[in-house]
């Protein structure tokens, strides 16, 4: 699953080597991609959390903020992610900010804790700095916003320096601390208390770093200083030539997550239906991070999983769970991953008779709760999500959902707000979904990159079919000139593959996703074949993505007949028979 040689690299010590102009260096000390983590403390708390998140506030959509109050709304929307989670803390708010004309001209050692930032400006996080008077927004289509000379970027490369402080709650004592960025455009370094904790590219997917050893003890009065350096342009920008506004900065939420020493780091829900759609065979793969501890200790742990029919719960989520339609999944005698590098994988399974199926017309959802317990049955960790049981196949030149023919009536959707740029409000997502449903739209293509995690939750709830698209577009390259084209050059292969794998790993449990897109307008080359092959592998980087999820390319894929567009043509996000 990891791209070992890339993640194991250390930043070159020579200042003459610009890591943001090296396609082989796109992440450092970055945790492997996984589903969103909530770090809950009880099964009941998990059910309550999802009950509240399913309770969509339609009134907010009617009062979606388009004026100067949008910034306040963005900060509130960011904080919503950690609401009700005892081991999550939002770092949204006003940070200290300085924009330098280039990465080489930033203040020396600005990431040191004692650095004086009193003369810096304030900037809301999340936001794009161009929407607050720094630098200028750029709109282009096809043509790159800088001279085409891969992998190099202009010397005029606006670079944002951010600083903020945080405290670790006393309740987190003895636990591990993760620093989670939902998305940063386009490349960034992060420091905690002067220690470099990581580097990441990909402007539309999360970057997560462990910072446990860098933080002051939670019973200390010392502030922890977080510093971030964001480059507007990087070699990754050559993979992000979409037709939209080019905006920069920390534009999605930033969170602290606290986890026990051994914790659930990933899980994957699979449901296979029989030919009558009356029996569902459920399998859940769970991955445990044991922090490279003694391998003898891990087998004493136990994994439990419960699948709960949401319709069986009363409006009072505190009701006795015995009244709900719950299925307890049992361990299976196989592991998903070898017990090495501090990770262990387990599989649980069970069957559900007459399951309530998910579709656009009937978006039935279940709550999946995964529990990690010690040898005495004491709860160590708890994770949860919403899942749906459905079957999607292409047969006889038709798309069948749970055996019924479906014609997709879809649209493309960019993430954009007139006052916030690429920072999204939940109220605006809801407003978009209501507008789509009112106009008989049943599908959306995330053009042309993975979108905010809340968007997928809402599509699950509203019953919208989703084409999830990797953040890859190289439209500005001349297809007749193969010189340094990223889809053909081996040096770009791992960076492109990482974008697809990371998208799939984050979003794999969403019922709404029926198609994985390898990107938009990026020609076709051997790197695409590698990406599609990895997704189809039953065991590989993406651990066997659902068999009924198709692969899509926006070009006619005579090069790769198993990709979706063979029986269909994709026109502006709408699949036509």
* Domain residue ranges in the chain: 23-39+87-259, 263-387, 392-576
Above 90 in pLDDT, residue 381? yes
Q: Do domains 23-39+87-259 and 263-387 have the same CATH topology?
A: no
Above 60 in pLDDT, residue 85? yes
Architecture of domain 392-576: Alpha-Beta Barrel (3.20)
Residue 404, SS3? strand
Q: Before 448, cis peptide (omega within 30)?
A: yes
How far, in Å, CA of 132 to CA of 124, rounded?
9
How many C-beta atoms surround the C-beta of residue 355 within 10 A? 23
Q: What is the pLDDT of residue 524?
A: 66
Contact (Cβ atoms closer than 8 angstroms) between residue 444 and residue 93: no
Interval 502-529 mean pLDDT: 86
Give the count of alpha carbons within 13 A of 155, CB side only.
1
Of 59-68, 158-167, 285-294, the poorest mean pLDDT is in 59-68
* Helices 426-438, 70-80: crossing angle, 10 deg rounding: 90
How far, in Å, CA of 521 to CA of 252, rounded?
25
Above 70 in pLDDT, residue 367? yes
Q: What is the pLDDT of residue 533?
A: 56
Contact (Cβ atoms closer than 8 angstroms) between residue 81 and residue 255: yes
pLDDT bracket for residue 574 (50, 70, 90): very low
> What are the angstrom distances between the C-alpha of 100 and each of 161, 162, 197, 232?
8, 11, 22, 11
Contact (Cβ atoms closer than 8 angstroms) between residue 156 and residue 217: no
| Matching CATH number, 23-39+87-259, of 3.40.50.980, 2.60.40.1730, 2.60.120.260, 3.30.590.20 | 2.60.120.260
Architecture of domain 263-387: Sandwich (2.60)
401 CB burial (10 A radius; 0-12, 13-18, 19+)? buried
How far, in Å, CA of 165 to CA of 176, rounded?
18
pLDDT bracket for residue 481 (50, 70, 90): low
Q: Is 2 left (phi over 0), alpha (psi -120 to 50) or beta?
A: beta
What is the dihedral angle through the alpha carbons of 41, 43, 45, 46, rounded to the nearest 10 degrees?
Answer: 100
Largest pairwise CA distance in the chain: 68
Chain segment 92-109, per-residue pLDDT in tens: 999 999 999 999 999 999
């Amino acid at each position: 699953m990891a791209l070992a040689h890339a993640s194991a690299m250390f930043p070159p010590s020579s200042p003459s080597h610009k890591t943001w102009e090296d396609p082989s260096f796109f992440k450092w000390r970055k945790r492997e991609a996984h589903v969103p983590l909530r770090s809950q403390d009880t099964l009941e708390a998990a059910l309550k959390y999802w009950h509240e998140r399913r309770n969509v506030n339609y009134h907010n959509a009617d009062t979606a903020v388009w004026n100067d109050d949008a910034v306040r709304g963005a900060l509130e929307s960011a904080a919503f992610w950690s609401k009700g989670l005892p081991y999550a803390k939002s770092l949204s708010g006003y940070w200290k900010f300085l924009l330098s004309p280039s990465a080489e001209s930033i203040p020396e050692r600005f990431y040191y804790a004692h650095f004086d930032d009193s003369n810096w400006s304030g900037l809301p996080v999340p936001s794009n700095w161009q929407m607050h008077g720094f630098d200028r927004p750029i709109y282009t289509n096809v043509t790159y916003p800088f001279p085409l000379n891969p992998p190099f970027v202009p010397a005029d490369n606006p670079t944002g320096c951010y600083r903020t402080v945080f405290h670790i709650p006393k309740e987190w004592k003895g636990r591990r601390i993760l620093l989670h960025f939902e998305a940063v455009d386009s490349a960034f370094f992060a420091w905690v208390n002067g220690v470099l904790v990581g580097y990441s590219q990909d402007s539309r997917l999360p970057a997560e770093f462990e910072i446990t050893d860098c933080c002051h003890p939670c019973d200390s009065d010392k502030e922890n200083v977080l510093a971030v350096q964001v480059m507007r342009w990087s070699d990754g920008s050559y993979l992000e030539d979409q037709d939209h506004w080019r905006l920069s900065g920390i534009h999605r939420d930033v969170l602290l997550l606290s986890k026990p020493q051994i914790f659930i780091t990933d899980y994957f829900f699979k449901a296979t239906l029989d030919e009558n759609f009356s029996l569902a065979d459920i399998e859940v793969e769970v991955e445990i991070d044991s922090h490279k501890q003694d391998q003898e200790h891990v087998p004493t742990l136990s994994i439990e999983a419960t699948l709960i029919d949401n319709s069986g719960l009363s409006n009072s989520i505190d009701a006795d769970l015995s009244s709900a339609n719950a299925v307890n999944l049992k361990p299976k005698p196989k592991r998903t991953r070898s017990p090495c590098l501090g990770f262990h994988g387990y599989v649980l399974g069970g069957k559900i008779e007459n399951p309530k199926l998910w579709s656009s017309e009937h978006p039935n959802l279940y709550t999946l709760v995964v529990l990690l317990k010690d040898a005495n049955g004491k709860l160590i960790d708890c994770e949860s999500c919403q899942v749906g049981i459905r079957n999607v196949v292409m047969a006889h030149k038709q798309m069948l959902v749970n055996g019924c023919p479906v014609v997709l009536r879809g649209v493309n959707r960019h993430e954009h707000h007139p006052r916030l740029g690429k920072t999204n409000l939940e109220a605006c997502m809801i407003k978009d979904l209501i507008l789509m449903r009112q106009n008989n739209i049943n599908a959306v293509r995330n053009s042309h990159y993975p979108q905010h995690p809340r968007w997928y939750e809402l599509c699950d709830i509203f019953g919208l079919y989703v084409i999830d698209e990797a953040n890859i577009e190289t439209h500005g390259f001349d297809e007749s000139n193969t010189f340094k084209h990223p889809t053909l050059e081996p040096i770009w292969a791992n960076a492109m593959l990482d974008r697809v794998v990371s998208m799939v790993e984050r979003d794999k449990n969403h019922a709404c996703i029926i198609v994985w897109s390898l990107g938009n307008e990026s020609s076709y080359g051997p790197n695409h074949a590698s990406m599609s092959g990895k997704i189809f592998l039953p065991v590989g980087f993406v651990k066997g993505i659902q068999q009924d999820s198709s692969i899509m390319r926006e070009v006619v894929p005579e090069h790769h007949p198993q990709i979706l567009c063979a029986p269909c043509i994709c026109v502006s996000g709408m699949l036509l028979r």
